[in-house]
Homo-oligomer: A and B are copies of this chain.
């Protein structure tokens, strides 16, 4: 069977236990990512990358290169995701601010509406879920999410083309 040099049996809260717990919960967490967040029905429906990109533009970003860094995807991937948003009439491309190689991405009025509606729907859905947790559990979750994010840094190399 599998062996591991991290295996410590003294406590449940050992790295190996967390590792196995995380591996065990991943399919479900992944499913949640897949269907919990792009949760708005009908014409508002967005994929998760589209939702992230739209939120990113909503919060002030405007250059594709910044978008690709924020979303941590390659530039061609950012182009594809933006293409989808443009095709849906949620984003417009325009001339860049400083440099004629650059492109400015702007939300259309529809894009702004969809982004706000979507963010609100996701927040409300999450709030309903988190209403099932007490204050201590919420605080624990908040801190744990930050720990997880800090400790699972992907390798520092960026997705560049």
Residues in chain A within 8 A of chain B (CB atoms) = 2-6, 8, 10-23, 25-33, 35-37, 39, 41, 48, 52, 55, 70-72, 116, 119-120, 122-127, 129-133, 135-152, 154-157, 161
Q: A144-B144, A147-B133 are in contact. Are A138 and B17 (CB under 8 A)?
A: yes
Copies of this protein chain in the complex? 2
Complex contact B15–A131 (CB within 8 A): yes
Compute how far the CA of A130 lies from the CA of B63 in the bound complex, rounded to whole angstroms: 35
Complex contact B18–A138 (CB within 8 A): yes
Complex contact B146–A140 (CB within 8 A): no
Q: A18-B130, A151-B130 are in contact. Are A27 and B6 (CB under 8 A)?
A: no
